[in-house]
Structure 1
Amino acid sequence: MTGEMMKLTRVLVVDDNEDAATSFGELLNMAGYQVKTAFNGREALLVAESFRPEACVLDINMPEMDGYQLARQLRDQNPDHPPVFATVTAKGDYGHLGQAVEAGFDLHFTKPADPQEVMEQLEWCMGKQVG
């Protein structure tokens, strides 16, 4: 790795709001990332098996499987090299932050999140893992 931050290549975006997931995924794609989107936890787990994301941007409030449960299961899929986890959610309270840390999230953003900030923080976190 040179003086530049390592560029993430594979990012999984999961949100039950399809417009939010798709638009955020498109922004990441335009910035040079390989992006897959999923609209629920079950779909995200299937996508992650073959896509092997380096980072996951997850909503928390989703039906059937919330973002906390999803993060734990995604981490279990690849325990030796887990992805960087970011939550982008409407929740901003301290109770949520504690649950996010417990579930293994590296980053927290409150909606509406600045896509540029999310990308910069994901790259910074990935650089820490590699370095």
Structure 2
Amino acid sequence: MTTSAGAHGGTESRRILLVDDSADAALAMSMLLEALGHEVRTEHDGARALASIDEFRPDVVVLDIGLPGMSGFDVAREMRKRDATRHALLLALTGYGSAADRQTALDAGFDHHLTKPVSIDEIEALLARA
């Protein structure tokens, strides 16, 4: 992990894997995170996300739940089995916000469940505490 401070609130720079099937949403979020001093890699489906983790070794994964092919829940479960992401901060970023959705996310291995739209300040606060 890099130890340089990010541009926002002194948060350490993190390697963040952003997984969202919406190219526009992923681009916007990655630009914000990069502007805050983080290194961001973007993938648009679970299989590609899983294929990239051994090489990228993210500190944080921001993962959409509604992905094509395999759900974000399945991706999170698989990530928790792998050395490269076993201890990474996993953030569910989703439009599904019921209590059952939150519990399913936690059961799948996510550390936090964030409902869209989420503020960049909320994400940065979680990164600062990680």
What band does the TM-score fall into relative to the shorter chain? 0.7 to 0.9
Task: Tell me the amino acid that sits aligned with residue 20 of structure 1.
Answer: A
Task: Work out whether 1:101 is the aligned partner of 2:101.
Answer: no
Give 1:114 shift.
Answer: 0.2
- The answer to whether the 8 Å contact 2:58/2:84 transfers is no
Instruction: For residue 123 of structure 1, report the CA deviation from its aligned partner.
Output: 2.4
* C-alpha deviation, 1:6, in angstroms: 6.0
Which is richer in helix? Answer: 1
User: Structure 1 residues 115 and 46, CA, compared in 2 at 3 Å: closer, same or farther?
Assistant: same
TM-score by length of 1: 0.86
Partner residue in 2 for 1:14:
19
Question: RMSD over aligned Cα, in angstroms?
Answer: 2.0
Q: Pick closer, same or farther for the CA change 1:72–1:8 going to 2, 3 Å.
A: farther
Whole-Å Cα distance in 2 between the matches of residues 19 and 6 of structure 1?
A: 25
Which structure is higher in RCO with an 8 Å CA cutoff and minimum separation 6? 1
4+ runs of 1 displaced by more than 6 Å?
A: none
Match of 1:54 among 52, 59, 66: 59
The 2-side partners of 1:123 and 1:87 are apart by 17
Provide closer, same or farther for how the CA distance between residues 19 and 75 of structure 1 changes in structure 2, counting only shifts above 3 A: same
Structure 2: gaps (5+ residues)? 4-8
Matched residue pairs, number? 123
Deviation at 1:74, TM superposition (A): 1.4
| Contact 1:8 1:54 survives alignment (8 Å) | no
Inter-CA distance 80–67: structure 2 relative to 1 (3 Å threshold)? closer
**What stretches of structure 1 of length at least 5 have no aligned partner?**
127-131
Task: Report percent identity of matched pairs.
Answer: 34
Q: Paired residue for 2:46?
A: 41
> For residues 40-119 of structure 1, what are the structure 2 equivalents within 5 Å?
40-78=45-83, 81-119=86-124
- TM-score with structure 2 length normalisation? 0.87
Superimposed CA distance per residue, residues 17-50 of structure 1 (whole angstroms, 9 cap, x where no aligned partner): 1111111011101100010000000110111110
Q: Is the 8 A contact 1:17 1:39 kept in 2?
A: yes
